[in-house]
Every structure is written in structure tokens, then in C-alpha cells.
Structure 1
Amino acid sequence: MDNEFVKVPEKDKTLSPGKLFYNWFAANIGIMGFVYGAIIVSYHLSFWQSVTAALIGALTFAIPGWVAMIGQREGVTTFKMSRATFGTHGNKIPNFMAWLNMVGWLAVNVITGTLLFSAMLKTIHVPQTGFTKFICLVVFAGLVFLSGIFKEDTLAKIQTWLSWIFGGLTLVMLIMFLMNANWGEAFAMKPGSWVTGWLPAVAFIAAGSSISWSMAAADWGAYVHPNTKPSATFWNTTLGAATPLFILMAGGVLLSTISPSLASASDPYQVMYGVIPGWFGFLYFLVAAGGIIPQCLVSFRSARINLSTIGIEVSQKRSLILHAVIIILISIYVLFISGDFLSNFELFLNFLGICLASWVAIFLVDSVIYRKNGYDVKLMEPNSSVHYNWPGIISWIIATIFGFLFTSNAAYRGPFAHGIFENNSSLAVFVSGIAAIIVMFIKSSDKQED
């Protein structure tokens, strides 16, 4: 099979470092960043500990930066390269995880959009009831589905304009937070534990951002112009994503001094409504919700591609209906049965973070150990004779099990979740990644001895 079936054609490698930076910047300038910042404070950290946790958490985007650099070097997208790591059939593991990741974030986006619409209605004094929230869900989901009539380039233009407008409004929002922040309370916040407070906060941010994004990093890296220095791909990916995320999280830390209940609120956007002028809140929530719609549609299409890669072929129409039903059911559960968005969101990030941390660790270690001279194209072909690459598969299984043994959350408690791991579920994300690295090196040693 010719390389063109695996590698991105040279004519399509047009992504400049500046465009790469913008793509990552636009993808990570979202209203959830404020909520992340407030959640960091909920780990009982001082102001400076919270800010440094936000900074280090944002800089974990060095992981996608590394993956993007490999994608540029090989000119191959993520899940084609991972065929070499797991085998053509074994590669269904990361494909399935990518599908879960996509569906989970689709649900988060739809729920977020619904809550934003609900908060927007509050700014014009519409009573907040279960019925109005249901109407908001119907309206937002309807807008997502109707946006399917637009072409990809039209959606990209809409997303670009909304990103710029949202970025400008966010700057105004940050100025408001700086002016209204309770600085005395901020600097009086008592320091927390670096091990059981600061480290889990960093792990939570990594699980919710960089680790999840790692599965898409090579997809952009593979389209970077060949003359671009690898270091430029790395830094434009890392800083393009980390910069807006850190700024938003720092704003969330300040916001938590104004509204301490933000991190524990079942609906954080209703809390945000209370600290900004009503007229501004309406505009801000409208643009924030509008910006989510194109993201949702692109994610719907990506979810269909992931299903196809796993081996489940469905038409675009059936895929849209299937994923819509799943996401609406999840949204109804979170909004009307559980009624607690943040708790369910943290639970989702914990489970997903454990599985994805082990995956990206295996992918990178495999690249370092076995792909020093580049990837063998034959291993990345869909009809490759290597169906299962057992070192990668076994390492993922062992590392993921280790992660769950040490996790402790509202739904599950592992047998080893004691001491520093008790009530610190996000630390299990680090355990999973470290276990994957250790097992991969042990497997490579055994192979060399054989």
C-alpha cells in the first residue's frame, strides 16, 4: 500500500506556526476555565498555590505539544500512528476511548450550553424552573442539530468570529473580577498541602484539558508545514492552549473570592450571574453558548469517524440520531435527575483521565523506545499483519487497573485509596500514567533480553 494512504499529502501540509497557535488558543478559550479556577481553590489552597497550580496545570499542554511534534515528523494523524503502538485490532482500544471522550465532552458542552441559556434568561428576569431549563435544553440542542445545514468552512468562520468576540468580552470580565475581587480574603487564604491539595489540583486540570486533548494533537501536527521547526510546533501547541486556559483559571481563582460558592454550586453559571451586571451577563452568556454550537457539530462528526475506525459503519444521519439520543439522555440525567453538574463533571474527568493518561504515556514511551528512527509505514496501514501489539495493550490494561485501584470518588472507591489517595481521586490519574511508563520499560527490557 502506498504511503499516501497513511501519510498526509505534502500539498495539504499548510498549517503555519501562527495558525497552529490560534487553533489551540481558540479551542481553549471557554467559560469552563473560570469554573476550573474555582475548583482549584476548593482544594483548600492559598492564593499563590492556586495560581501556581493553574500555571503548571495549563503547562501540562506540553504533552499534546510533544504528540503534535511527533505528528509533524511523521506526517501521520494520531490514530494511524497508534496502530503501530497497539496493532490494527488492538488500536480499537484508543479509538473506543476517543469515542467515549468525544461523547462525554459533547454531553458536557450541551449541558453547559443549556445552563448558559438558563443563566441568560435570568438576566432578563425569566423565572428559573425545571420547565424553563427543559426549554433551554430543547432550544440549545435544536440549534446544534440545525447548524448541521452549514458547511465546514462556514462553521469555521462563525467559530472564528465568536472566538474573537468571546475573547474580548472575557477580557472585560477579567477586569471586572480584578476590580471586585476581595484581595484581602485572597491573600489571607491559608496554604494547603502540596501533596494532598496542590498536586491533585494540577492532576484535575491536566485530566480535564491536556490529557484529553492529546488524542487530537497529532491530527493538527501532521498538517504543519514541513519547513516548520519541530520546536515551533511544540511551543505553539503548548502555549497556544496553555495561555488562555491559565488566564481564565486565574480569573476563576479571583471569582472564587467574590463568590465562594462557585466551586460547589450545582449550576456555576447562576452563581456567575450574581457578580456581573445583568446587561453584560446576557451578552456574555449568549456569545459563550453560541461558541459551543459549532464545536458540538464538529464533535458529532468526529464521533462518527471514531465509530467508523472501530468498525461500526453508520450513515451521517444515523450517527447524528444515535449520538443525539445518548447525549440528550445524559443531559436529562445530569440536569433533572442528579441536578449536580459539577459533581458529575468531576466524576467524568476522573474516570476518563485514568484511561487517557495511561494511553498517552504508552504512546509517548513507545515512540521513544521503538520509533527512534521513525514509524514503519507498514505498521500503520489498515491491513497491517500486526493485529495486536501486546506490549502496548498489556501496559494499557495494567496501568488503567492500577489507576482504578487508587481512585476514590462518589461512585467508586479502590482498595488502595488510602492515605494521600483518600478523597483525592485526581491523583489516580498520575498513578495511571506512571504505571504505564514503568510497565512499558519493563516490557522493553524483557524484549531486549529475549
Structure 2
Amino acid sequence: MNDEIVKISDADKTLTPGKIFYNWFAANIGIMGFVYGAMIVSYHLSFAQAIFAALFGALSFLVPGWVAMIGQREGITTFKLSRAAYGTHGNKIPNAIAWVNMVGWLSVNVITGTMLLISMYGVLNIPKNTFTRAVALVIFGGLVILSGLLKEATLAKIQTWLSYIFGALTVVILILFLMKADWHAAFTLPSGSWVSGFLPAVSIVAAGSGISWSMAAADWGAYVKPSTRPSATFWGTAMGGAAPLFILMAGGILLSTIEPSLATTGNPFDVMYSALPSWIGVIYFLVAAGGLIPQCIVSLRSARINLSTMGIQVSQKTSLGIHGAIVILIPVYVLFISGNFLSNFELFLNFLGICLASWVAIFLCDSAMFRNNGYELNLMKPDSKTHYNWGGIISWVIATATGFMFTNNAIWNGPLAHGIFRDNSLGVFISAIVAIICMFIVKAIGRPKAAEEAN
């Protein structure tokens, strides 16, 4: 009998809606929100269209809100809940993809944070050499790894304080950007296409925010106090992520009027720095780097949970050692050997967005269609006889494959990626839509019996 604990004990459920809000607020207050705003403008939209795209993109956090609410109701983390929709064995593939996604973004954030600290050397007149680069990596990577030793309640407190500190400093940066923005240029931007411009802009924001974060939502929702209203968990998660992201994207839309290269540059932080007064340089770099730490905390914690859910049972210290080695070795390769990893790795992570969009669509459809009376605990135990839920598995395969068929980029050219689907991330939406259709078909033909394997 596997002794894995499925449900979180009531004693460990210490989070409140306020703490949930600050957790997601802190994870999305990072200065990269400005870059998302500039990316929206790059789709040749008017100011009003761009603002609407930012709003709808930010509202993709309604998805993590729903997932967190399910996690609170059941007291179970995300990919243990997912076993009901896919089966204990069938769940391992999307679980592994989610783990790669979390570790991948964690590595990207550590690389970015280290690069920010290295860039700050120029402001402080510190020489940039191999030793000082290594020091920057040790400082930023070390802070992230140490966060893995902390408990949920402690992490929630840290996220709250980071929300206050970096939230306030980011507002200062935002005001300075708005003071320099060319408002006339913003309001006179010509209108773009609602189909080939607006929808792709929304999809790329949603893929990088709400859809990507949905895999971690129940990992926090499961630790909310049982007495909390589910709607409070839902809105705490949704608005905690959506509010700061929307505000920062709106600032990025205006900032792009004076720094058009913001959406295409290889180092957007340097571009934003050039738009600021020199006296605020150190504060700017601290805000940019500090805003990445909460994202790293969320990613590291959920990556550790995902590793355990896949059946890789190791101690917390061993798990931390595995993830710590990954998020240090990859930045070492990028910063000291290759130098061009970031763009290629982000391209790779875009592929995972399609897989995760179909996964979360099936997860939520399964919950709404088949779990109205709650989840059966036996379905989520690692020794469950329900190894494969073919309705969920086949739906995920079809939806994910279809999403790839409508996607093209530098290394992949889908056979159906033509017209409005060319050179954008609409394949993410296609993947989710097809997943929903497949689940309605599963519902219509009757809930399939999951295949059982002999013990």
C-alpha cells in the first residue's frame, strides 16, 4: 500500500484569501508585465484595442481561480486531482510536462534575475567578469533555492511582504514611465484587425500567464482554511494575478510609444532602463530582479509537488537538491558557455503552452461534468486500480495534436498554420477549444469505464 498522503490535513490549512491574493499578486508584479504590454502593441492594435487585449489576457487568471477553488474544496493539490481525469498512469504524461514547464520557467527566471544583477554592476561601477557573474548567480539562485526550505505559511508571509515592497517600487517605476509616455502617439494609433491582431495578442498573454499558472493554482488552494468561502479563494487567486498584470501591461502599452524596440529587443530591461532617470538606476534593477523572486518561489514549490505526484518519492532536501542543481546548471551553461539559450528555451516553453491549455480544459470539464458530488478519493491514490481514464487521455491527445497543427514558429511548421494562424500562438486557444469539444462528446456517449490493470 502506497503511503502517499493525498489530502492535506486541516492542521496544515493555514492560508486565507488575503494571503492567496498576495501570493499571486507578488508573482505577477514583476516588471516583465511592461514587456507583455509592448508585445500587444506589436500586433498593430489601436490604444483601445490594446487595452482590451491586456484586460482579456489578464482575465485568463479566472482559470487558475477555478482550479484553486477545486483544490480548496477537495484539500488536494493540482496533479493529484488530475489523476481523476486521466487515471493514475495516464496522468503522468501531463504531470511530467507540467514539471518540465515549471522547472523551465524557474530556470529562465533565475537566468533573467542573474542578468539583471550583472547589469546593475554598470550602475555601481563593479567590473563584469567571470567571478562577478558567478557571484550574481550564487546570490540570486541561492535565494530561490533557500525558499524551498520554507513552509507554506512562511512562504505566504514572504509573498505578502514582497507584494508591499516591490509593488510600491513598481508603482514608482510605472509613474515615471507614464510621465514620459507619448500620450498623443498612443491615442492616435491606427486600428488593427480584431481577428488577426486582437485574438493572437490575447492568446499570447493568456498562454504566458493564466494558462501557464493554472497548474500551480490548487497547490495553494488546497492549503486554504476550510472555513473560507470558495468564492473568496476564487477571486483572491484570479484578481491577485490579473490586477497587477493588467496595470503593468497598460503601462507597457504606453511605454512602447517612446521605446518601440521594447517588444523585440533581446534585453528589454536595458531598454526600460534607458527610459528612466539615471538616479533611479539601482532601484530599477532591484525592482526588476526582486519581482522575479516570487515567481521563482511559486514555480519551485509546485515543481517539487509535481515530482512527488509523478511517483518519484524523495525527501524534501533531495527534491530541493535535484531542482537546485537544474536551476543552477542551466544558468551556468547560458551565462558562461552558450549565451543564446534564453530565446530557444522560451520557444520550447511555448510548445508546452499548447499541452497545458488542453490539459486544464479537460481537467475543468471533467470536474464540472463528472465531479459534482466531489472527487472519489480512491481515484487519486497512487495504488488506485483506475490506471487509465481513456476519455480524458484521448481528448488530451486529440486536442494537443490539433493545437500543434495550427502552430508554426522557427522550428515547427504545422500543416494548418495558415492565414490568421500564421506566426502567432492561436494554437493554444485551438487546443483548449478542441479539448472542450472532445469532453462534451465523452459526456454524450456516456462516461467511459477506465481500464483497470491487474495488481
Fold equivalence (TM over 0.5): yes
Task: Give, in whole Å, the separation in 1 of the partners of 2:149 and 2:86.
Answer: 37
Structure 1 distance, partners of 2:398, 2:294, is 37
What is the CA–CA distance in structure 2 between the aligned matches of 1:249 and 1:375, rounded to whole Å? 38
Q: Which residue of 1 aligns with 2:217?
A: 217
Q: Which runs of no fewer than 5 residues in structure 1 stay unpaired?
A: none
What residue is the counterpart of 1:171 in the other structure?
171
Instruction: Please say which of residues 311-320 and 377-386 is displaced more in the overlay.
Output: 311-320
2:444 corresponds to which letter in structure 1?
S
For 2:84 and 2:438, the matched residues in 1 are separated by: 18
Q: Is the alpha carbon distance of 1:356 and 1:394 closer, same or farther for their aligned partners in structure 2, counting shifts above 3 Å?
A: same
What CA distance in whole angstroms lies between the structure 1 residues aligned with 2:23 and 2:336? 35
Contact kept, 8 Å, 1:61 with 1:238, in 2: the verdict is yes
Q: Give, in whole Å, the separation in 1 of the partners of 2:133 and 2:272.
A: 17
* CA 1:277–1:131: 2 relative to 1, 3 Å: farther
Alignment of 1:268-279 (within 5 A): 268-279=268-279
Counterpart residue number, 2:435: 436
Amino acid corresponding to residue 140 of structure 2 in structure 1 = F
* CA–CA separation in structure 2 for the residues paired with 1:156 and 1:284: 25
Match of 1:397 in 2: 397
**Residue deviations 1:69-101 (CA, integer Å, cap 9, x gap):** 222222222122111111111121232122112
Instruction: Kindly provide the CA deviation profile for residues 348-384 of structure 1, in whole angstroms up to 9, marking residues without a partner as x.
Output: 4421210100000000111111112211121122221
Deviation at 1:41, TM superposition (A): 1.1
Contact in 1 for aligned 2:51/2:250 (Cα 8 Å)? yes
Bigger mean CA offset, 160-169 vs 182-191: 160-169
Equivalent residue, structure 2, for 1:255:
255
Answer yes or no: is the 8 Å Cα contact 1:70–1:221 preserved in 2. yes
Code of the residue aligned with 1:237 in structure 2: it is T
Change over 3 Å in CA distance of 1:196–1:332 after alignment to 2: farther
Aligned residue identity for 1:430: F
**Cα offset, 1:154, TM superposition:** 6.1
Residues 267 and 341 of structure 1 are in contact (CA less than 8 Å); yes or no, is this contact kept in structure 2?
A: no
Match of 1:378 in 2: 378
1:175 maps to amino acid: I
The 1:322/1:415 distance shift into structure 2, 3 A limit, reads same
Cα deviations by residue, 1:123-163 (Å, 9 ceiling, x for unpaired): 33557789976664455335545667777766655544333
Are residue 71 (structure 1) and residue 105 (structure 2) matched?
no
Aligned to 1:13: 13
Give how far 1:46 is off: 1.4
Alignment-derived partner of residue 62 in structure 2: 62
Distance 1:147 1:357, change over 3 A: closer
Question: What is the SS of the residue equivalent to 1:387?
Answer: strand
CA distance in 2, matches of 1:244, 1:393: 35
User: Aligned equivalents of 1:374 and 1:449: distance in 2?
Assistant: 18
Name the SS of the counterpart of 1:238 in structure 2.
helix
Aligned position for 1:423 = 423
| Residues in 2 aligned to 1:362 and 1:186: alpha-carbon distance in whole angstroms | 40
Distance 2:70 2:16 in 1: 16
Amino acid corresponding to residue 426 of structure 2 in structure 1 = L
User: CA 1:329/1:368 → structure 2, altered by over 3 Å: closer, same or farther?
Assistant: same
Distance of 2:366 and 2:149 partners within structure 1: 41
Counterpart residue type for residue 191 of structure 1:
S
Q: Which amino acid in the other structure matches residue 289 of structure 2? A: A
CA RMSD in angstroms, aligned pairs only: 3.0
Letter in 2 for 1:395: S
Structure 1 stretch 316-325 or stretch 92-101: which is displaced more? 316-325
Superposition pairs of residues 46-445 of structure 1, within 5 angstroms: 46-125=46-125, 136-137=136-137, 139-145=139-145, 157-293=157-293, 295-296=295-296, 299-314=299-314, 319-328=319-328, 330-331=330-331, 343-344=343-344, 346-424=346-424, 426-445=425-444
2:273–2:284 CA contact under 8 A, matched in 1: no
Cα displacement (A) at 1:182? 0.8
On the 8 A contact 1:203/1:429 being kept in 2, the answer is yes
Distance in 1 between residues matched to 2:86 and 2:434, nearest whole Å: 17
Matching residue's letter, 1:423: D
Change (3 A) 1:237 1:141: closer
- In structure 2, distance between residues paired with 1:311 and 1:449: 25
Which secondary structure state, in structure 2, belongs to the residue aligned with residue 100 of structure 1? helix
Question: What secondary structure does 1:116 align onto?
Answer: helix
SS of the equivalent of 2:387 reads coil
User: Which amino acid in structure 2 is aligned with residue 7 of structure 1?
Assistant: K
Structure 2: segments with no counterpart, 5+ residues: 450-455
What is the rounded CA distance, in whole Å, between the counterparts of 1:64 and 1:152 in structure 2?
A: 18
Q: Distance in 1 between matches of 2:159 and 2:262?
A: 28
Distance 2:130 2:412 in 1: 29
Range with greater deviation from structure 2 (201-210 or 292-301): 292-301
The 2-side partners of 1:306 and 1:206 are apart by 22
Q: Number of residues paired by the alignment?
A: 449
Give the share of equivalent positions with the same residue, in percent: 68
